Structure 1
Amino acid sequence: MLTPKSSRPTPERLLDAAEKLMRTTGLANATTKAIAREAGCSEAALYKHFANKEELFVRVLTERSPNAGPFLAALTADPGERPVEERLTDIARLGSLFYADAMPMAASLFAEPALLTRHREGLQKIGKGPHMVLDALVDCLAGEQGRGRIRADADPRAAASLLLGACFQRAFFLHFSGSEAVQPVDEFAAAVARTTWAAIR
């Protein structure tokens, strides 16, 4: 049985509303006023629970995107004795799915430079941003390097940038040109991980 909207806690209703609007109208058009109205509460109530719209966006991405949790877990998990290439394959697959999910929500920001600047400043205010994914993969690769499983002269940041950049580009092509323009995600992830691993092992 579905819980009536009015009986759900206000933060949950706001996240529901933010997710709906960000997915249907884009981040640029999902104003705090529109989110509050959709949630059936005041804009003041929104700011009681969330610092700004950017915090809502981050929460929607991390809590409501099916691949966000597994992706972040793959980036920060203790590798144990798991082969590095296998780990990179998981990261590439989940990263591709995560970017494919996030891109439509965020794309509208790039049409409005002033809004993009406000969004960037809002993320900085709460200590978040897309660079955190790259930083997590850099830490992951640096850890593997410290364990002697990656060449000492390999550059973890360059390797992380190559792998995640490929995942982001696949998401762009998927949305811009359609699924026929990209490899199936499992095939793509294995190829990108294999090529990255060949350069750094």
Structure 2
Amino acid sequence: MATPYIDPYQLDQHRRTVDPHRNAQEARRRVLELAAFMKREEADDAAQPRSRGTASGHAVDMFLALLQDRLPVWLRILDDLMYLVGKGRVSENLLPIARAGIDYYCEVQAASLPAFTSPSVTVRFREAMRDSDIGPMSEIVPLTAYLAAEQRAGRVSPDVVPVASARLLLAGCFSHAYYETLLGADDFLPSRDEVAEEIVRELRLEPPPA
């Protein structure tokens, strides 16, 4: 699959207008709208009703409540990266981001497994996500904007593609969270700290020393 195109103007606007607090509040509002959409669709679905109080219904409610709490915090962490442009080392700035990403995805995936056992619920969630602005690009854009800003400052190699590197970092976090959710956190898997270090190191973002 090709790397999605991100308009440089969109990145520049994000860099100039980023307000982590406002964006976090906006994300929380959108999750509430997503939950309202799913319940509205549920009420219209007479063929497969999902009554409140059932195990499936409770799992969906718990997942949406967790998403409302965790997603704004995660997006704020990504937005805060813009305050670090030109400061410290890029890899050191990204290390806590990778660790936070693993933590976030582990929580969300663990809650999503019991929530999406019904095909009708999964379809409703997909429809709701298409109409929201809290899909994957809400994570990719702030991370890409940071890497692009560091690249302009000469602190990221010129041959790095910021959006591709952003996707790889997030994918690495998501992948470890998936395996940890599936297999459990034990000696079979490396620790979250070890994985975060590996993800950032293998991106090879910083230019070699002169």
Work out which of the residue numbers 112, 117, 138 in structure 2 matches 1:132.
138
Aligned equivalents of 2:124, 2:149: Cα separation in 1: 35
Give the aligned residue type for 1:188: V
1:190 is the counterpart of 2:193: no
Counterpart of 1:84 in structure 2 is 90
Quote the residue 1:158 is aligned against.
Answer: 164
Q: Deviations over 1:38-92 (max 9, x none)?
A: 99xxxxxxxxxxxxx89x82x63242x4x962x3333112114121101111111
Offset at 1:174? 0.6
**Structure with more relative contact order (C-alpha pairs < 8 Å, separation 6 or more):** 2
Q: CA deviation at 1:34?
A: 4.3
User: Residue type matched to 1:172 in 2?
Assistant: Y
* Counterpart among 151, 157, 167 of residue 173 in structure 2: 167
SS in 2 for 1:127: coil
* Residue 99 (1) aligns with residue 98 (2): no
Q: Which residue of structure 1 lines up, in the alignment, with residue 20 of structure 2?
A: none
Report how far residue 182 of structure 1 moved: 2.0
**For 2:147, which of 112, 121, 141 is the aligned residue?**
141
Question: Match for residue 12 of structure 1?
Answer: none
The count of aligned residue pairs is 152
Measure the CA separation in 1 of the matches of 2:51 and 2:162: 39
Write the distance in 1 (CA, Å) between the matches of 2:53 and 2:99: 34
Q: In structure 1, what is the Cα distance between the partners aligned to 2:191 and 2:72?
A: 19
Q: Which runs of 4+ in 1 moved over 6 A?
A: none
Q: Alignment RMSD, CA only?
A: 3.2
Distance 1:167 1:75 in 2: 14
Shift of 1:175: 1.3
Q: Report the CA distance shift for 1:107/1:200 in structure 2 as closer, same or farther (over 3 A).
A: farther
**Structure 1: any 5+ residue segments left out of the alignment?**
1-14, 19-30, 40-52
Paired with 1:200 and 1:120, the residues of 2 have a C-alpha distance of: 37
The one-letter code of the counterpart of 1:167 is: C
Question: What secondary structure, in the 3-state scheme, does the structure 2 residue paired with 1:150 have?
Answer: coil
SS in 1 for 2:202: helix
In 2, distance between residues paired with 1:111 and 1:88?
Answer: 34
Q: Hey, what does 1:72 align to over in structure 2?
A: 75
Read off the aligned partner of 2:76 and give its amino acid letter: A
Change (3 A) 1:131 1:34: farther
Q: What do residues 173-196 of structure 1 show as CA deviations (whole Å, max 9, x unaligned)?
A: 111112123211112212211121
Aligned residues: percent identity? 28
In 2, distance between residues paired with 1:149 and 1:111? Answer: 45
Post-superposition offset of 1:132 = 1.5
Unaligned residue ranges in structure 2 (runs of 5+): 1-31, 36-49
Q: Distance in 2 between matches of 1:134 and 1:192?
A: 16
